[in-house]
Amino acid sequence: MDYSAFEDTIAAPATIPGTGAITVIRLSGPKALKIAGNIVKCKSKSIEASGANSIRYGEISREDGSIVDEVLVSVFKAPHSYTGEDSVEISCHASSYVASEILRLLCDSGARVAEPGEFTRRAFVNGKMDLAQAEAVADVISSSSSASLKVAMNQLRGGFSTELKDIRERLLEIASLLELELDFSEEDVEFADRAQLSKLLNDVIKHITSLASSFRQGNAIRNGVPVAIVGAVNAGKSTLLNSLIGDDRAIVSDIPGTTRDTVEETMTVDGILFRFIDTAGLRESEDEIERIGISRSLKKLSEAQIVLAVLDSTDSAEVNETIINDIVSKIDPVEQLLMVLFNKVDIIAPNTNVTLLNNNVSSTNSKVIKLYISAKNGLGLDLLKKQLVLSQKDVTLDSDHSIVTNFRHYEALHKAASALEKVHSSVAHGLTPDLLAEDLREALAHLGSITGEVTPDEVLGQIFGRFCIGK
């Protein structure tokens, strides 16, 4: 492996200055040790003469000899570093001024300020990780729940990449046999047994489709399980949102139609991130703005994984039945879980034991759960949260397996499966090996784009451009 692919040395803060006790400034490249040695003076041997994986104490001074800070310098030598290059991490006091002075001195000594994601991009180019693992670095940093962290760490450790590698190796073996048939096309021989090829394609297509179908689950883990709070006006939807998150996020009023647009807030319950979406009340309206809000509510309703249908217990059974029928007609009973919440039980029966009432709630397997609550007083909300967590039990149990959380990966898997379907169809129709090989190469290219075997520079720029500067 060539660890001198980059001629320049980059530097950037790896932590946010001024937010803690120390700030870490990262330096990586062929002159990292020399540049660090130019500005950090140690009592004994220099930074360049330091051993790998060592920590040195020293002082950083300005050109006039005045001291900027006392620092600790961690030394890493290629290829045993994050980037695969010679690297240095300078730990200084968490002053924005100190960090900027050290960065200025590093740049004056020959370094340049790193671009967003450039450290991780170098790690990818230098073979320290593949592209899927590199993208997982950003997911680990941004993880906001134990489930999202677990999935991101599995990908960072190469779990997803290993699955893709196994799939590609199986396809490459067949591709090589088809290419061999092309070399002997005049002799009309078959090196790739068509029955075995058909079985292999079935298995691989099933595997890839399963990975792609996990994206809905993975996207929910990464961005929060979308939970739409819907119902008629004044049913208590906004009050429910405020009670769940413990903050007055949505405006609550007795005036019908107060909520004109969707309001979103996230909340972690037992390690699972939920994204609650308060929506405008569903009703016929002549108000143009309210109608736009209702239209957006219907869109969020269709996109939600869980639907909380809030009913006003003080309304008649006939009114509530009409509302429920309307909501049921707008959801997918197979893909979406419906929870019917009979709100305001504290008004119709102040002494009602909500816990006893809810002992008879439906199982999550039924796709419809009925609960009695008082959003205003918090009655029944603990059980509601429990049911929300139970609805995601398969997500947490399966999170040790590969779950696709990245839309780019989902698209590549979908395209790879489509190409393999073409190969499968061509095998069934007895088409020539050149046509089979062409579609097979396309599938391999799509799979390779996930881990970075075949990824254009502009795609790499888009991926790493979303990283922070010091990563």
CATH number at residue 291: 3.40.50.300
What pLDDT is recorded for position 416? 95
What pLDDT is recorded for position 256? 44
Residue 325 belongs to a domain: yes
Residue 458 belongs to a domain: no
Residue 396 corresponds to which tokens in the numbers above?
A: 């947490």
In a shared domain, residues 116 and 253: no
Q: Are 403 and 151 in contact (CB under 8 A)?
A: yes
Task: Provide the 8-state DSSP code for 79.
Answer: T
The owner of tokens 């939600």 is 304
What pLDDT is recorded for position 44? 83
In a shared domain, residues 341 and 223: yes
Strands 306-312 and 225-231: parallel
In a shared domain, residues 196 and 232: no
In a shared domain, residues 147 and 242: no
Task: Provide the 8-state DSSP code for 87.
Answer: E
- Last residue in a domain, options 70, 99, 129: 129
CB atoms within 10 A of CB 441: 16
Taking the C-alpha atoms of residue 27 and residue 110, their distance in angstroms, rounded to an integer, is 11
Q: Using CA atoms in the order 347, 352, 356, 359, what is the torsion angle rounded to 10 degrees? A: -20
Count Cα atoms within 13 angstroms, Cβ side, for 160: 35
The partner residues of 225 in beta bridges, in order of sequence, read 274
Taking the C-alpha atoms of residue 50 and residue 54, their distance in angstroms, rounded to an integer, is 7
Count Cα atoms within 13 angstroms, Cβ side, for 182: 13
User: What's 162's domain CATH number?
Assistant: 1.20.120.430
In a shared domain, residues 32 and 104: yes
Taking the C-alpha atoms of residue 12 and residue 111, their distance in angstroms, rounded to an integer, is 10
Residue 44 belongs to a domain: yes
- Structural domains of the chain, count: 3
- Last residue in a domain, options 331, 364, 398: 398
* Residue 413 exposed, middle or buried by CB count within 10 Å (0-12, 13-18, 19+): buried
Tell whether omega for the bond before 116 is within 30 degrees of 0, i.e. cis. no
Taking the C-alpha atoms of residue 344 and residue 240, their distance in angstroms, rounded to an integer, is 11
In a shared domain, residues 340 and 378: yes
Q: Tell me phi and psi for residue 453, to 5 degrees.
A: -65, -35
Give, for all 471 residues of the chain, the pLDDT tens digit: 344 568 899 999 998 877 788 999 999 999 999 999 999 999 888 899 888 999 999 999 998 889 999 999 999 999 999 999 999 999 999 999 999 999 999 999 999 999 999 999 999 999 999 999 999 998 888 887 887 888 888 888 888 999 999 999 888 887 777 766 665 555 555 555 677 788 888 999 999 999 999 898 888 888 888 998 888 878 888 889 988 888 665 444 444 444 445 678 888 888 888 999 887 655 455 555 555 556 666 777 778 889 999 998 888 888 888 888 888 888 888 888 899 999 988 887 665 555 554 554 444 445 678 888 898 888 889 999 999 998 887 655 454 568 898 999 999 999 999 999 998 888 888 777 677 888 888 999 999 999 988 666 766 777 787 777 777
Spell out the alpha helix ranges (H) of 334-429: 345-348, 354-357, 381-390, 393-398, 407-428
Residue 447 corresponds to which tokens in the numbers above?
A: 């799979």
Taking the C-alpha atoms of residue 29 and residue 7, their distance in angstroms, rounded to an integer, is 7
The owner of tokens 């929300």 is 388
What pLDDT is recorded for position 251? 43
Burial state string for 263-298 with b = 16 or more CB within 10 A and e = fewer than 16: bebebebeebbbbbbbbbbbeebeeeebeebbebbe
227 three-class SS: strand
What pLDDT is recorded for position 257? 45
In a shared domain, residues 320 and 349: yes
The partner residues of 72 in beta bridges, in order of sequence, read 57, 91
What pLDDT is recorded for position 254? 45
- Helix (H) / strand (E) element for 263: namely strand 263-269
Taking the C-alpha atoms of residue 131 and residue 233, their distance in angstroms, rounded to an integer, is 48
In a shared domain, residues 110 and 254: no
What pLDDT is recorded for position 349? 64
List C-alpha distances in Å: 73 to 11, 76, 247, 402: 14, 10, 44, 37
List C-alpha distances in Å: 338 to 12, 381, 387, 421, 452: 49, 16, 11, 35, 40
Taking the C-alpha atoms of residue 58 and residue 401, their distance in angstroms, rounded to an integer, is 46
Residue 250's domain comprises: 219-398
Name residue 470's amino acid: G
How open is the CA angle 78-80-81, to the nearest 5 degrees? 85
In a shared domain, residues 112 and 160: no
In a shared domain, residues 275 and 377: yes
